[in-house]
Chain A
């Protein structure tokens, strides 16, 4: 089950966050900082799945933006990876200037 969905830029600012399980506001910021730190420290060579506490993080990088999805371990990681891309493509279809916005400094 997907636990949360984050969009974070390279500077570490959260652009979008949606939690599917209740998490306190102050713990959210902490969670986000830690998640971002682990994602930003990865190089492009490494795989897109990270184990963090009892979640698995699946992230994908688009220019300056990271999209991170936290799941529990019943999920198929590769399907979620595909899903992230699907999401971005839907946004692109719907709001046609998504790609150009992503390359700007968000």
Chain B
């Protein structure tokens, strides 16, 4: 039998292999050896074979046949076997293989022996791959080991406890009591482990959280000792005494102090002390300081402390180390919601960070800058952001563009500035803006009457220079179509622009024909051309020509439009001017509900006398098209912007008027009759009256019948009542619905006749309802 290699030799041989295939060959040969020796080889050499197998596994080759060997090795009494066996168990076994349960017994035995290294191995393995069943079985063993003397085993036991709590949260009850005691230790390893364990326990149960608030003073004491003691060789990293322990304590203090006034107060002094005493020239100190800032931000700290935290972050921002600047930007972003004014002070530095070449940094700086825009600094900030937009990497462009547009919308000082800003963004980064930017801009321009001339000129100039940015082209085309006549006049706000009719038409045709234009853009351009046929004084032959060419275009939507416009020229030429009239001014509403309400109110105010003229075609909507179809009911709201998709589903009727108040019409011996009125929104001529009969007397009302009569011009429909008995003392009332149809808006008069039995008497009442509110019939 060929003597098998030692691990060292195997590694050298593998590394000596020149190609992947050679390496695979070597490994396969060796695996065959290993398998043979597992079957009938020397048990004393087994650990060596397994060690080689583990190395091969680390390189990515299959090694599952070694699993049972791990078990055998763990069970062996020799340490050298156990060591490799446990290592193999951690690497090769996991919850998905049932074999892992077999080592539970071995672990149990090993834990109860007194030999520390063995206990250490067992605990490590349990902590790495222990499944829920194993944890449940071995929890008590681990707990016993938590409290025995000897820090080596205790630290490992604590870490195993952390793993167990994560796997099986019910075990937290077992591990809760020893924690307080463990905090009194001096060994940093034990302290670190205990603090992690406490954090896990607190995260899983609020009861544990309350329980551990008691240890806040103790933690404060430990941290204070750490910060104030001088240099200790054992724990110092770059001058800071055990920064890892400090960071963990701070994190636990954060969890305990969150939303809890009392604990937060205990921590205030300490946090200030840590913040001021830590040496931040090296990374370790900065890490501790950063954690302190995070803690201050999260607990209910004093105002002065928060300002201190923000100032520390500001100082970080000026640091030359990129890492520190990154964490400062991220934390400031978290803070900006709650301490806006404090963060504003650092705005100039943040804006400088925009110029960073590092992608992570510039992204954070962009987000933070956008969050910092407010009324007072909006102009300056927008300028900076626009400068950034021109030079920033492509993946940040769309975020930047939408951010600028959003900020402009929220804080625009004047409409002209707003239009300018949007225009600038569209020319710089047109392809990256979101789709509703076009809609927003058209709405904005449409609503600002005094700026029509100005905007159309600006847009025309921009379009002349560049027709590739689609959102810009769409808006410009729409504007030119609507306000093209302003182009030919002089406007005092911009430089005098000599524009000929022919140039305008040529430009739109260019857009139509350009291969860069999207179909939607072409639609805009075609419609704009049509509108210009009424606005521009020259003759319309050229436009007619273009329109008829597109009558056979391959794009279905364009073709449809062109055909319809053609018809408009030919058969309905007399209506053309009216149909292509200018749109009315839009109210620039905030929310959509506002817009809908305002739209409908606008609609009812200048009620169109001829439905045809006021009905402006929703020009992008295929469904409503046809210049000949002018019989739309007047209640169809004309959508002022062809572009605004969201206006397509406005309600067809004015909004429901203010609700009519309820009316009490009858009362006798505890029996009351109430009328409540509703008008369904779709049918203004219909009024629904609900009659409610209640009984607060001691006797019940039976055989209740209610009849009603109205004037002849009004129609009444009475529905069946809900019942004819009202139990005594406020029992469930009877309701009955009357439908009143009053299309002529005649004054409503209502006569009611009641008949019922009450307290042994038979009651008949007839009366007219006097005080009907005017709104019931108007």
Q: A46-B360, A76-B290, A76-B294 are in contact. Are A82 and B243 (CB under 8 A)?
A: yes
Contact check, A47 vs B325: say whether CB atoms are below 8 A apart: yes
Question: A55 near B: Cβ within 8 Å?
Answer: no
Across the A-B interface, how many residue pairs have beta carbons closer than 8 Å? 60
The 8 A CB mask of B305-331 against A (1 = contact, 0 = none) is 000000000000000001111110000
Chain A 42-76, CB-CB to B under 8 Å as 1, else 0, gives 00011111110000000000000000000000001
The smallest beta-carbon distance between A22 and chain B, in angstroms, is: 8
Q: Considering only CB atoms and an 8 Å cut-off, how many residues of chain B contact the other chain?
A: 25
- Complex Cα distance, B57 from A16, in Å, reads 11
Instruction: Kindly identify which residue among A16, A47, A49, A81 contacts B287, using a CB–CB cutoff of 8 Å.
Output: A81
Which chain A residues border B625 with CB–CB below 8 Å? none
Whether A78 pairs with B324 at a CB distance below 8 angstroms is: yes
| Complex contacts, A45 vs chain B, CB 8 Å | 322, 357-358
The contact of A77 among B58, B323, B357, by CB within 8 Å, is B323
On whether the beta carbons of A49 and B291 are closer than 8 Å, the reply is no
Compute how far the CA of A78 lies from the CA of B247 in the bound complex, rounded to whole angstroms: 10
Residue pair A46, B237 in contact (C-beta under 8 Å): no
Question: What's the Cα separation between A51 and B283 when bound, in Å?
Answer: 20
**Residue A86 is within 8 A (CB to CB) of chain B in the complex:** yes
Q: A45 to B326: give the CA distance in the assembly, Å.
A: 13
Q: Once the chains are docked, how many angstroms separate the CA of A50 from the CA of B361? A: 10
Interface of A is mostly: mixed
Does B244 have its Cβ within 8 Å of any Cβ on chain A?
yes
Interface: A79 (CB within 8 A):
yes
Q: Does B286 contact A (CB under 8 A)?
A: yes
Which residues of A have CB within 8 Å of B286? 78
Whether the pair A86, B322 counts as a contact (CB closer than 8 A) is no
Residues of chain B within 8 A of A77, CB atoms compared: 323, 326-327
CA distance A50 to B326 in the complex (A): 10
Contact of B322 among A47, A51, A83 (CB under 8 A): A47
Q: Known: A79-B247, A82-B237, A82-B284. Contact between A49 and B324, CB under 8 A?
A: no
The digit string for B49-88, where 1 denotes a CB below 8 A from any CB of A, is: 0000000001000000000000000000000000000000
B326 touches A49 (CB 8 A): yes
In the bound complex, CA of A46 to CA of B251 (Å): 28
A51: nearest residue on chain B (CB-CB)? B360
0/1 string, B345-373, CB within 8 A of A gives 1: 00000000000011111010000000000
Contact B358 A78 (CB under 8 A): no
The answer to whether A50 and B247 have CB atoms under 8 Å apart is no
Q: How far is the CA of A54 from the CA of B759 in the complex (A)?
A: 75
Q: How far is the CA of A75 from the CA of B565 in the complex (A)?
A: 64
Kindly state the separation between the CA atoms of A79 and B323 in the bound complex, as whole angstroms. 11
**Among the listed B290, B291, B323, B359, which residue makes an inter-chain contact with A48, where contact means beta carbons less than 8 Å apart?**
B323
- Asked if residues B284 and A49 are in contact (CB atoms below 8 Å), the reply is no
Closest to A15 in B: B58
User: In the bound complex, do residue A49 and residue B294 qualify as a contact, i.e. CB atoms below 8 Å apart?
Assistant: no
Which listed residue, B287, B294, B327, B360, touches A82 by the CB 8 Å rule?
B287
Which residues from A are CB-within-8-Å of B284? 82
CB within 8 Å for A79 and B326 given contacts A45-B358, A86-B237? no
Q: Which residues of A contact B291 (CB under 8 A)?
A: 76, 79
Chain B residues contacting A81 (CB-CB under 8 Å) are 283, 287, 323
Cα distance A81–B322 when bound, in Å? 13
Binary B-proximity of A4-34 (CB < 8 A = 1, otherwise 0): 0000000000001000000000000000000
**B327's contact among A50, A78, A83, by CB below 8 Å, is which?**
A78
Return chain A residues, CB-CB under 8 Å to B247.
76, 79
Range of interface residues on A (Cβ < 8 Å): 10 to 19
- Nearest CB of A to B741, in Å: 60
Instruction: Tell me, in angstroms, the Cα distance from A83 to B243 when the chains sit together.
Output: 10
Q: Is B290's CB under 8 angstroms from A47's CB? A: no
CB proximity of B215 to chain A, nearest CB, Å:
21
Which residues of B have CB within 8 Å of A86? 237, 244
Name the residue in A46, A76, A82, A86 with the highest tally of chain B Cβ atoms < 10 Å from its Cβ: A82
CA distance A88 to B640 in the complex (A): 68
Q: Min CB distance, B520 to chain A, in Å? A: 34
B298 CB to nearest chain A CB (Å)? 11
B527 CB to nearest A CB, Å: 44
Provide the bound-state CA to CA distance between A77 and B360, in Å.
14
Instruction: Give Cα A16–Cα B244 distance, bound, in whole angstroms.
Output: 24
- For B283, the chain A residues whose CB sits under 8 A away are 78, 81-82
- The answer on a CB contact under 8 Å between B244 and A79 is yes
Chain B stretch 225-258: residues in CB contact (< 8 A) with chain A: 237, 243-244, 247, 251
Question: Residue on A with the closest CB to B359?
Answer: A46
The reply to whether B243 and A47 form a contact with Cβ atoms under 8 Å apart is: no
Given A79-B244, A82-B243, are A47 and B358 neighbors across the interface (CB < 8 Å)? yes
Q: When A50-B360, A51-B360 are in contact, do A78 and B244 touch as well, CB less than 8 Å?
A: no
Q: Mark A73-102, 1 if CB is under 8 A from B, else 0.
A: 000111101110010000000000000000
Give chain B interface residues in 284-300, CB to chain A under 8 Å.
284, 286-287, 290-291, 294
- Asked if A78 contacts B287 (CB within 8 A), the reply is yes
Q: Are B243 and A79 within 8 A (Cβ)?
A: yes
User: A50 contacts which chain B residues (CB < 8 A)?
Assistant: 360
Question: In the bound complex, what is the Cα–Cα distance between A103 and B643 (angstroms)?
Answer: 64
| Closest A residue by C-beta to B288 | A79
B323 surroundings in chain A (CB, below 8 A)? 47-49, 77-78, 81
Instruction: Let me know if B327 and A46 touch, CB within 8 A.
Output: no
Chain A nearest CB, measured from B15 CB (Å): 9
The answer for the CA separation of A82 and B248 in the assembled complex, in Å, is 14
Residue of B244, B358, B360 touching A83 (CB-CB under 8 A): B244
Q: Please, which residues of chain A bring their CB within 8 A of the CB of B358?
A: 45-47
Q: Which A residues are in CB contact (< 8 Å) with B244? A: 79, 82-83, 86
Residue of B nearest to A44 (CB): B322
With a CB–CB cut-off of 8 A, which chain A residues contact B243?
79, 82
Q: How far is the CB of A21 from chain B (nearest CB, A)?
A: 11
Chain A, residue nearest B291 (CB): A76
A99–B579 Cα distance when bound, in Å, is 83
The interface centre, meaning the residue of A76, A77, A78, A81 with most chain B CB atoms within 10 A of its CB, is: A78
Give the distance in Å from the alpha carbon of A27 to the alpha carbon of B658 in the complex. 61
**In the complex, residue of chain A having the shortest beta-carbon distance to the beta carbon of B240:** A82
Q: Report yes or no: A47 in contact with B237, Cβ–Cβ below 8 A.
A: no
Measured between C-beta atoms, what is the minimum distance from B536 to chain A in Å? 54
Which residues on B sit within 8 Å (CB–CB) of A82?
237, 243-244, 283-284, 287
Q: Which residues of A contact B58 (CB under 8 A)?
A: 16
Max chain B Cβ within 10 angstroms of own Cβ: one of A46, A48, A76, A79: A79
Per the bound structure, the CA–CA distance linking A51 and B247 in Å amounts to 22
Cα distance A70–B243 in the bound complex, in angstroms: 20
Residue of B nearest to A41 (CB): B359
B294, B322, B324: the one within 8 Å of A46 (CB): B322
Cα-based distance from A12 to B463 in the complex (angstroms): 49
With A45-B357, A46-B322, A47-B322 known to touch, is A79 a contact of B237 (CB < 8 Å)?
Answer: no
- Chain A nearest CB from B711 CB (Å) reads 71
Interchain CB contact under 8 A, A47 and B326: yes
Taking the closest CB of chain B, its distance from the CB of A60, in whole angstroms, is 10
B361 touches which of A16, A47, A79 (Cβ 8 Å): A47
A79 to B282, CA, bound (A): 12
The residues of B that contact A76 with a CB separation of less than 8 Å are 247, 251, 287, 290-291, 294
For residue B251, give the distance in angstroms from its CB to the closest CB of chain A. 8
A-B contact pairs, 6 of them (CB 8 A): A45-B322, A45-B357, A47-B358, A77-B327, A79-B247, A79-B287
Which 7 A/B pairs are nearest by Cβ-Cβ distance? A47-B322, A78-B287, A46-B358, A79-B287, A47-B326, A79-B247, A47-B323
Task: Given A76-B251, A76-B294, A82-B243, output 16 extra A-B contacts at Cβ < 8 Å.
Answer: A46-B358, A47-B322, A48-B323, A49-B326, A50-B360, A76-B247, A76-B287, A77-B327, A78-B283, A78-B287, A78-B323, A79-B243, A79-B287, A81-B287, A82-B237, A83-B244
